[in-house]
Chains A and B, each alone.
Chain A
């Protein structure tokens, strides 16, 4: 017995045969009544998209033809080799540290923790900032800073502690940059480390893994705070950095490399599929958010547009935005794209409208956060809803 869809297919066959068998004149009279110019324009749009898609496919075919068949036959051996190397490095590190040093936690593991702080760390730093703000005092240093370290006093000079954990303003700099109430803004605030330029790098304290602790404090201070942390002292950090270099040197490059941008949700809406459920489908390892057609899609964080178009198969109209810290966000199946490549975008800026382009059956936004070449779980970086 035929299934209903087979019925429809048979019907389509029967009706199509009639249309195809007609003479051109009869077809022009029968098939193309008054609405045909609109259909023809739609056809031309479809062909335009198909031409772009075909160019990408031909490029892919050429690349596959050029690559040695042995190396690209399967990606799994390469992944297995990389994973094996990583395991050897971690195990070797544990072995070496256990044999020769007092450090309990292997550096490799600690490095992973530092580079990808879990959500709890970010929340902890935000809670601390909130608490300091509500107390009306000077915010505490980064959470990991040791209580034994003296807080930088007003008027601190070269005699002050050489390692400044966050941005302790001196009386002079505070007078020059009085704390100002921060208007609610979507712009992320980044903590920058300021170190007097004339001083030598801080000596390593005599405690286990000083570099690790230092990095940890950096990592906890680095996640840009959301609008919930209007810290005037933090806001003044870039101004200090803009002062003559003899006064302070800001390790901004390092901050950019390690910073985790403050991501925001690009749209509101119901999450249809998230990273965990969609991981089985390689092209859908992100979050699908159901939105009405034409909804504003906003940049999740400050960054630069590195791709805007529909030339990448299965993603429809797609925007890729590069952020600090090696992050890239992807916004797929868009309707109208409002930015172009190399545009700088701000967090919350409208960059497109939602659509249902390419394989999306219903209007949705497919959103991914990528770090390097891999998709990461966006829930780790987005604020709670």
Chain B
């Protein structure tokens, strides 16, 4: 009978630490955003705030606050706009989920109103493109979650026409939102 006095466990090589921005660096990076990026973030927050009971400024404030408080780590290789967009997006989901849960618990009684408002918003967005059936079909596809090639096929347009329709859609909806 043999006894094992020690076992050599091969140690895995430590994963390289992901370089992240400190809160001070994050603050400086946010302050240094271009005017176009700042305007884009306001518009993006406005798009996502539609599905929460809060204002788009509240949403953006919470996102920036979490970054500056260190609750969200910012990898150095990620640009400011995509990173902040991701934070805004996740907080919008979180807030929506919180209200769905409160509604399920019976502690929130605004669910019916919010659903009604959301339905009105969907109708309002679609009615923007009553004069353009192709654009309307693209918007419907976007709402159902279709993306890229699938969306282009759905619209029946070639790539150039499809891109110009998307630009038109974005501009009209932005006018509605902000």
Interface of B, secondary structure class, is helix
Of all chain A residues, the one with the shortest Cβ separation from B33 is A43
Given A5-B118, A359-B54, are A43 and B42 neighbors across the interface (CB < 8 Å)? yes
- The docked-state distance in angstroms from the alpha carbon of A42 to that of B61 is 11
Q: Which of B44, B51, B68, B143 contacts A50 (CB 8 A)?
A: B68
Given A5-B114, A57-B65, are A19 and B38 neighbors across the interface (CB < 8 Å)? no
Q: Quick one: which of B14-37 are within 8 Å of A by CB?
A: 23, 27, 30-31, 33-37
A4 touches B121 (CB 8 A): yes
Given A4-B118, A36-B39, are A20 and B166 neighbors across the interface (CB < 8 Å)? no
A8 neighbours in B (Cβ, 8 Å) = 50-51, 118, 121-122, 125, 143
- The docked-state distance in angstroms from the alpha carbon of A264 to that of B40 is 46
- The docked-state distance in angstroms from the alpha carbon of A359 to that of B95 is 12
A9 neighbours in B (Cβ, 8 Å) = 48, 51, 92-93, 96
A39 touches B42 (CB 8 A): yes
Of all chain A residues, the one with the shortest Cβ separation from B70 is A58
Kindly count the residue-residue contacts between A and B in the assembled complex, taking CB atoms under 8 Å apart: 162
Given A28-B34, A36-B36, A42-B42, are A2 and B143 neighbors across the interface (CB < 8 Å)? yes
Q: Which of A4, A15, A45 contacts B115 (CB 8 A)?
A: A4
Q: Output the residue of A18, A20, A49 with the most chain B CB within 10 A.
A: A20
Q: Quick one: which of B99-125 are within 8 Å of A by CB?
A: 107, 114-115, 118-119, 121-122, 125
- Closest Cβ of chain A to B156, distance in Å, is 18
Q: Which of B38, B69, B144, B167 contacts A61 (CB 8 A)?
A: B69
- The docked-state distance in angstroms from the alpha carbon of A19 to that of B81 is 9
A50 neighbours in B (Cβ, 8 Å) = 60-65, 68
- The docked-state distance in angstroms from the alpha carbon of A203 to that of B167 is 90
- The docked-state distance in angstroms from the alpha carbon of A37 to that of B38 is 9
- Closest Cβ of chain A to B78, distance in Å, is 11
B64 touches A24 (CB 8 A): no
A28 touches B36 (CB 8 A): yes
- The docked-state distance in angstroms from the alpha carbon of A37 to that of B39 is 8
Q: Output the residue of A11, A18, A42 with the most chain B CB within 10 A.
A: A11
Verify if B161 is at the interface (C-beta below 8 Å from A): no
Q: How large is the interface on B (under 10, 10 to 19, 20 to 34, 35 or more residues)?
A: 35 or more
Verify if B94 is at the interface (C-beta below 8 Å from A): no
- The docked-state distance in angstroms from the alpha carbon of A49 to that of B64 is 9
Q: Output the residue of A30, A44, A54 with the most chain B CB within 10 A.
A: A54
B166 touches A47 (CB 8 A): no
B145 touches A15 (CB 8 A): no
B39 touches A14 (CB 8 A): no
B89 neighbours in A (Cβ, 8 Å) = 12-13, 16
Verify if B82 is at the interface (C-beta below 8 Å from A): yes
B142 touches A11 (CB 8 A): yes
B98 neighbours in A (Cβ, 8 Å) = none
- The docked-state distance in angstroms from the alpha carbon of A15 to that of B178 is 14
Q: How large is the interface on A (under 10, 10 to 19, 20 to 34, 35 or more residues)?
A: 35 or more
Verify if B133 is at the interface (C-beta below 8 Å from A): no
A20 touches B85 (CB 8 A): yes
A43 touches B38 (CB 8 A): yes
A20 neighbours in B (Cβ, 8 Å) = 44, 81-82, 85
B169 neighbours in A (Cβ, 8 Å) = 15
B42 neighbours in A (Cβ, 8 Å) = 39, 42-43
Verify if A247 is at the interface (C-beta below 8 Å from B): no
A31 touches B36 (CB 8 A): yes
B34 touches A24 (CB 8 A): yes
Verify if A280 is at the interface (C-beta below 8 Å from B): yes
Verify if B159 is at the interface (C-beta below 8 Å from A): no
Verify if B47 is at the interface (C-beta below 8 Å from A): yes
- The docked-state distance in angstroms from the alpha carbon of A32 to that of B42 is 11
Q: Output the residue of A6, A10, A15, A16 with the most chain B CB within 10 A.
A: A16
A17 neighbours in B (Cβ, 8 Å) = 147
Given A19-B43, A27-B40, A280-B107, are A46 and B60 neighbors across the interface (CB < 8 Å)? yes
- Closest Cβ of chain B to A288, distance in Å, is 14
A7 neighbours in B (Cβ, 8 Å) = 118, 122, 143-144
Verify if B170 is at the interface (C-beta below 8 Å from A): yes
Closest 5 pairs between A and B when the two form their complex, measured CB to CB = A54-B68, A4-B118, A50-B64, A36-B39, A32-B36
Give A contacts to B, CB under 8 Å.
2-20, 24, 27-28, 30-32, 35-37, 39-40, 42-47, 49-51, 53-54, 57-58, 61, 280, 358-359, 361
Q: Please give 7 more A-B residue pairs, beta carbons under 8 A apart, in addition to A11-B143, A32-B39, A51-B64.
A: A5-B96, A10-B145, A16-B89, A24-B36, A36-B38, A50-B63, A54-B68
A-B contact pairs, 11 of them (CB 8 A): A5-B96, A5-B114, A7-B144, A9-B92, A12-B48, A14-B147, A31-B36, A39-B39, A42-B57, A54-B69, A280-B107
